[in-house]
Amino acid sequence: MYKITLNSVVRKILYGLIFWVCAISVSAQKGGGGQLTGSFQANANFFIRDSLIGAANTPQYDRQKYGAEAWLNLNYQNWGFDFGLRYDLFNNSNLLNPTDSYTAQGIGAWYIRKQIDKLGLQVGYIYDQIGSGIIFRAFEERPLLIDNALVGGRLTYDLSENWQVKAFTGQQKQQFDRYDSILKGLNIEGFLLLGDSTSRWSIAPGLGIVNRTLDDASMNSLVATLNTYTERDTFTPKYNTYAFSLYNTLSAGPITWYAEAAYKTKDNLNDPFGRFERDSTVVIGDKYFLAPGSVLYSSLSYAASGLGISIEAKRTENFSFRIRPQAQLNRGLVGFLPPMTRVNTYRLTSRYNAATQELGEWAWQLDARYTTPDRNWSFYLNRSHIDDLQGGKLYREWYSEVIYKHKKLWTLTAGLQFQTYNQERYEVKPGVPLLQTKTPYLDFLYKFTRRKSIRLELQAMLVGDDAAVNSRQDYGNWLFGLVELSLAPRWVFAVSDMYNLAPGRNSPELDGKKKGLHYPRLDVYYTLRANRFSLSYIKQVEGVVCTGGICRLEPAFSGLRFSVTTNF
């Protein structure tokens, strides 16, 4: 009852705030001295059923036919205050759950911020992080509908010109509601120049502490589950978990070294591959356990004229930091563990991705780029290496790329990627061998004029054999081609096709035979000053993505997609 009353009061305050912001913005635009800025983003999907590729059996394909999302951001500054308001809209959207439909709309975020001398204060929806985000990161990732804003208050205080302390408390946002657990944190960070003002040596150290207090309902749910365990498997759960992080960035001329050590006190964790032994049988599945966690992360980079090298390493042990132990996949994340693989952008090189393993991972990555002094040639090399803590092989990637630019007239990019991907672990596909891929690609850009250009892409993915079933692994071999015509500054047209050249064990079947299907795509992009529109016809291959023992269907997509973004 209390919550309902509070929510209605909050709603009234918010609507009052909207009215006020609108009113003052009109007044401001008439010369009141304030500044109103904003942005708008909207997507609309038109679903066209195609059961052969698996674009079927969701509410959108079966009956709704249309889904949309939109976000309107407004920011207003005046009298030393910052005000922000975001309106979120979801109509039959498949962003929250790719196989279901989500409809809701309302105030997605708001904030009021004020700086009073050395003291800064903010209430509302707060996006922030400590260090690299390992112990705390409140962020928004719209393509996955992650919105982990902290709903609460934050104080900052400038201890000196280069030192600041920050304290915050609140609850984590959950769509248009909040999780009941409470978060609070403290962070101090600063900057020190080593030597005189001309020195090229500096450090930027920081220390962070975050505490999560589990709400009673989540604890009761956890206790109910633990009561189903035998005495051997059960434990006394914790309401409070504390995470600490100590980090520093050392800069020495062209060298930058970042190091972070994080520790988490005992927390109620879940092992999706937990073992229950009952009556001489073993069942593998979700199992809660209690353990402290740690992350050691470091990156060392060197950047000089034409040459850039970086090496990163990370060791993770039992560092799943969630708002409640029942949260899974991308829900309820308090911290963010930086991935240790490169972000691939080409269609086929980005097909298999190594999801961060929160419970145990040992990973390193090397990245090197060299550009010749005449800037005609560039060479790039990346190596990723991920094992579990027992030495089991999870992921390997070799990625090489050569770029040649010919008199600003044309550019040729050629590359080759090798991957070893533990599909059994990442996608929970028992008994499948380590997936091996070889993916060569070419990207050719030709400029007819300064504004008119054409770009061609050709990629092939060759996978290994699955001897147990006498077939190629997963979906088998792929071929991808793209032609993109750019008429700057307004128009871009692209047409592409992804073809399952030699189907594998998981390719769709038609009349009892594996079928190599085409997945074409047409795109038109139009840009007019700050407004960008796109219209696409898409057929996209489906896939099952399993993270930590929970499988999620990323369904095939068949249909039209329209999007618009603008800033004002």
Partner 1 sequence: MKHHPFLLIVILLILIACEEIPPEIRPAKDGETPIETPVSEQKRQVLIEEFSGVRCVNCPAGSDAIQVLLDIYGPQLVPVNIHAGFFAEPYPESRYDLQTQAGYGILEYLGQPLGFPTAVINRKQFPGEDNLQLTQRSWAGRIAEELLEAPTVKIDIRKDFAVTDRLLLVNVDLYFEADIAAEDVRLSVYITENGIEDFQLTPEGKVGNYEHLHVLREVLTDVRGDRLTETIRAGTMLNRRFTIVLPEAWRAENCEIVALVHQDGDSKKVLQAHRSSVE
Query: For residues 470-499, which are near partner 1 according to CB under 8 A?
Result: none
Bridge partners for 282 per DSSP? 277
Q: Which of residues 174-203 bind partner 1 (CB under 8 A)?
A: 174-175, 177, 179-180, 186, 188
Q: Which of residues 418-437 bind partner 1 (CB under 8 A)?
A: 428-431
Q: Which of residues 142-171 bind partner 1 (CB under 8 A)?
A: 159-160, 163, 165
Contact status, residue 285 vs residue 274, Cβ threshold 8 Å: yes
Residue from 64, 221, 251, 527 in contact with partner 1 (CB under 8 A): 221
Return the residue matching tokens 């499988």: 551
322 binds partner 1 (CB under 8 A): no
227 binds partner 1 (CB under 8 A): yes
Kindly state the smallest distance separating residue 454's Cβ from partner 1, in Å. Answer: 40
Residue from 105, 220, 531, 567 in contact with partner 1 (CB under 8 A): 220
Tokens of 121: 């204060």
Tokens of 440: 């060569």
103 binds partner 1 (CB under 8 A): no
Tokens of 2: 């209390």
Tokens of 127: 């996006």
Kindly state the smallest distance separating residue 37's Cβ from partner 1, in Å. Answer: 33
544 binds partner 1 (CB under 8 A): yes
- By beta-carbon proximity to partner 1, the closer residue of 174 and 534 is 174
Closest alpha carbon to 534 in 490, 502, 501: 490
Kindly state the smallest distance separating residue 231's Cβ from partner 1, in Å. Answer: 5
- The percent helix, strand, coil of the chain (3-state, each to 5) is 10, 60, 30
Return the residue matching tokens 């708002």: 323
Q: Which of residues 41-100 bind partner 1 (CB under 8 A)?
A: 57-59, 62, 96-97, 99-100
The Cα 315–Cα 366 span in angstroms is: 15
Burial track 480-513 (b if 16+ CB lie within 10 A, e otherwise): bbbebebeeeeebebebebbbebbbbbbbeeeee
217 binds partner 1 (CB under 8 A): yes
Kindly state the smallest distance separating residue 318's Cβ from partner 1, in Å. Answer: 17
- By beta-carbon proximity to partner 1, the closer residue of 80 and 430 is 430
Q: Which of residues 244-263 bind partner 1 (CB under 8 A)?
A: 244
The Cα 62–Cα 98 span in angstroms is: 14
269 binds partner 1 (CB under 8 A): no
Kindly state the smallest distance separating residue 424's Cβ from partner 1, in Å. Answer: 9
What is the amino acid identity at position 351?
Answer: R
Residue from 265, 294, 301, 534 in contact with partner 1 (CB under 8 A): 265
